[in-house]
Structure 1
Amino acid sequence: MKVPFSGGCACGSIRYACSSEPLAMLNCHCRDCQQSSGAPFASGVVVPRASVDVTGSPQEYAVRVSSGLLVTRSFCAHCGSPLFTAGEARPDFMSIRFSSLDDSSGFRPALDIWTSSAPSWVCLDEALPHFAQSPSTQKQA
């Protein structure tokens, strides 16, 4: 992925620029990502929070996940575009939603997580590692 990269919401109220190389690019199949994306999984780019400059004021929604920790979802209050995910487990990092990237051509997911929640009809890329839950807590499936 070319750095810096940028993106924003569909209506243009919120913009961001990231000055860091992605630490990871992934697909998450957890139920929360399904609900917040309106799709069977959410794809994201994990970066250090300090490397992202945001203009505009995203709305936030926090949910307690199975670990008991909070995960915060940021989205545009005007158009509803999902933008960022951040959590208490790793507060110095955030995930930027694939759908918000200005240029998504460099996005290459390296793994699928929470595949235990994936619908049976989802076609997982067998070339990627799959984890039933989070890779920090589960072995590869």
Structure 2
Amino acid sequence: MPYTGSCACGAVTATIAGEPVAVRQCWCRQCQRVAAGSPTTNAIFATDDVELSGTLTTTSYVAESGNTLTQSFCGLCGTPVLAQSSARPQFRTMRIGFLDQPHGLAPQVAIWTDDAPAWAHIDPALERFARQPPAPAPAKA
């Protein structure tokens, strides 16, 4: 099923042709900063499946994993749109809140759980990784 997305003001939109290779909840400290203390929830799509329109504002930093992470958001309304890891250029990590409903996507994995605050509730049904997980498998052709 194709997915679509838009920021709060509509200046940035996306059409995504394929299915995600993974849906993850990330508890790293940087994601907690982006998500006001909670985890980010992200669907990882093949780069070639993602078509964006509008102007993104980006910021980059070296993450605890050692990879350069570039986060992109709408410069007009601030809606987080996607992240891109230097280690995985074949993927775009789309923020679930950016995707239009109903999309039916839910996290399958919780990552960087060692960074979660003591009060965090992490669904016990989710597979967990204390730190950086292995790369997701490529999308099936």
- Which among 127, 130, 135 is matched to residue 128 of structure 2? 130
Question: For 1:16, what is the secondary structure of its paired residue?
Answer: strand
TM-score, with normalisation over the residues of structure 1?
A: 0.91
Aligned residue number for residue 61 of structure 1? 59
Question: For 2:60, what is the secondary structure of its paired residue?
Answer: strand
Aligned residue number for residue 41 of structure 2? 43
Give the residue type in structure 2 aligned to 1:103. Q
Give the residue type in structure 1 aligned to 2:121. C
- Cα RMSD between the aligned structures? 1.3
Asked if the contact 1:31–1:117 (Cα under 8 Å) also holds between the matched residues in 2, the reply is yes
Aligned residue number for residue 105 of structure 2? 107
Asked if the contact 1:98–1:104 (Cα under 8 Å) also holds between the matched residues in 2, the reply is no
Q: Structure 1 residues 95, 104: closer, same or farther in 2, change over 3 A?
A: farther
1:1-141 map, 5 Å? 3-136=1-134
TM-score, with normalisation over the residues of structure 2?
A: 0.91
Alpha-carbon deviation of 1:67?
2.9
Structure 1 stretches of 5 or more lacking a match? none
Question: For 1:126, what is the secondary structure of its paired residue?
Answer: coil
Asked if the contact 1:29–1:118 (Cα under 8 Å) also holds between the matched residues in 2, the reply is yes
Q: Structure 1 residues 104, 29: closer, same or farther in 2, change over 3 A?
A: farther
Alpha-carbon deviation of 1:39?
3.2
Alpha-carbon deviation of 1:104?
4.5
Large movers: runs of 4+ above 3 Å = none
In structure 1, what is the Cα distance between the partners aligned to 2:90 and 2:55? 19
Give the residue type in structure 1 aligned to 2:114. S
In structure 1, what is the Cα distance between the partners aligned to 2:102 and 2:122? 20
Question: For 1:130, what is the secondary structure of its paired residue?
Answer: strand
In structure 2, what is the Cα distance between the partners aligned to 1:57 and 1:84? 13
Alpha-carbon deviation of 1:37?
2.1
Percent sequence identity over aligned pairs: 34
Structure 2 stretches of 5 or more lacking a match? 136-141
Q: For each residue in 1:101-121, what CA deviation from the matched residue of structure 2 results, as whole angstroms up to 9, or x when unmatched?
A: 111541121100000000111
